[in-house]
Amino acid sequence: MTTHTTRMLILGSGPAGLSAAIYGARAGMQPIVVQGIQPGGQLTTTTDVENYPGFADVIQGPWLMEQMQRQAEHVGARMMWDTITQVDLTNRPFRLIGDGGDVYEGEVLVIATGAQAKWLGLDSEEAMKGKGVSACATCDGFFYRGKKVAVIGGGNTAVEEALYLTNHSDDVTLIHRRDSLRAERILQERLFAHPNVKVLWNKEVREFVDGGGNAGLVALDLLDTVTGEHSRLDVEGGFVAIGHHPATELFRGHLELDSDGYIAVETGSTRTSVPGVFACGDVADKVYRQAVTAAGTGCMAALDAERFLAAAEFEELAKAAE
């Protein structure tokens, strides 16, 4: 068992954690990044990324994250291949324990553990991810220009994704398992008023149908939850929008979370309910959930952390001088 100490401890190596590391290292905070089970974060699970600024040509998600990690290491951040399993945030330095028993102590802590999309759990869904099945219309909608698409879900995310997809497709179907939506009234009104969106009520997806060869998704096999009847909807894109799980279990009881389990931060900052602990990226964001917003809030977290440490260290020096 080894104890690793640093001024700035970062959990997570997605765009938020690595951006915090780049800024933190350049501010002299010698960050340690604990990478978790998915080094590079969610973007390592995708191929084409077309909306991260700075690249005129299409880039690949894993390549972008490799570049971010190399940039962070180049300016002095240290990467640790570990996953945190226990936290103690009662005193500074904060003390965290990895799954092999190593101890990590940080004067400040930046949490960038992300969020994962919820899936329906069908074998065909798993098999068709990236071949017509997606959980992010903002990320992948562009690839379905002029094609028939469907969104599954009935909350704000599903309705926003359906409306977003009308920018690319004039045939969008929202599929919901009940006969009323959970989404806010104003979003529902926009959805129902849109000429290119139709809603299928009381329907569950039983299978994402593979067209074989390179065809990808060609249809959805649907079950009517009221009549039990099966039907088929021809689509080339299926967007699952049934919610996200923020990776915050570890912090329950240690930090304030909102009603959906996301880390609560002060508006316009990355400050959490514990002074010296900052949260950035998807773990504190249920609205935008983009690589660029995660990177932006990662930068904010490092700046907030640097200011916090400077104030705390000044106070300690003033006390010592008394």
Closest CB 108 distance from ligand NAP, rounded Å: 28
By CB under 6 A, residue 45 contacts ligand FAD: yes
> How far is 297 from 285, CA to CA, in rounded Å?
10
By CB under 6 A, residue 139 contacts ligand FAD: yes
Closest CA to 147 of 219, 55, 80: 219
User: According to CB under 6 A, which residues from 294 to 313 bind ligand FAD?
Assistant: 294
Q: Which residues are catalytic?
A: 136, 139-140
By CB under 6 A, residue 157 contacts ligand FAD: no
Closer by beta carbon to ligand FAD, 49 or else 181:
49
For the chain, the first-to-last Cα distance in angstroms comes to 39
By CB under 6 A, residue 49 contacts ligand FAD: yes
* Helices of type H across the chain: 15-26, 61-74, 123-128, 137-140, 156-165, 185-193, 291-321
Q: What is the secondary structure of 158-171 as a DSSP string? A: HHHHHHHHTTT-S-
Closer by beta carbon to ligand NAP, 5 or else 138:
138
Q: Work out whether strand 197-200 and strand 172-175 pair parallel, antiparallel, or are unpaired.
A: parallel
For 262-289, b where at least 16 C-beta lie within 10 A, e where not — what string? Answer: bbebeeeebbbebebbbbbbbbbbbeeb
Closest CB 176 distance from ligand NAP, rounded Å: 6
* Helices of type H across 27-154: 61-74, 123-128, 137-140
| Binding range to ligand FAD, per CB under 6 A, among 23-31, 155-163, 285-293, 307-315 | 285-293
> How far is 263 from 197, CA to CA, in rounded Å?
34
Question: Among 8, 15, 32, 172, which residue sits at the site for ligand FAD (rule: CB under 6 A)?
Answer: 15
Residue 2, number of CB atoms within 10 A of its CB: 10
Closest CB 298 distance from ligand FAD, rounded Å: 7
Closer by beta carbon to ligand FAD, 199 or else 279:
279
- What is the separation of C-alpha 35 from the centre of its chain, rounded to a whole number of angstroms? 15
The residue ranges that bind ligand NAP (CB under 6 A) are 120, 152-158, 160, 177-178, 182, 242-244, 260, 286-287
286 binds, among ligand NAP, ligand FAD, none (CB under 5 to 8 A by kind): ligand NAP
Question: Among 217, 242, 291, 300, which residue sits at the site for ligand FAD (rule: CB under 6 A)?
Answer: 291
Q: Binding residues for ligand FAD, per CB under 6 A?
A: 11-17, 34-39, 41-43, 45-46, 49, 51-52, 83-84, 112-114, 136, 139, 247, 250, 281-283, 289-292, 294
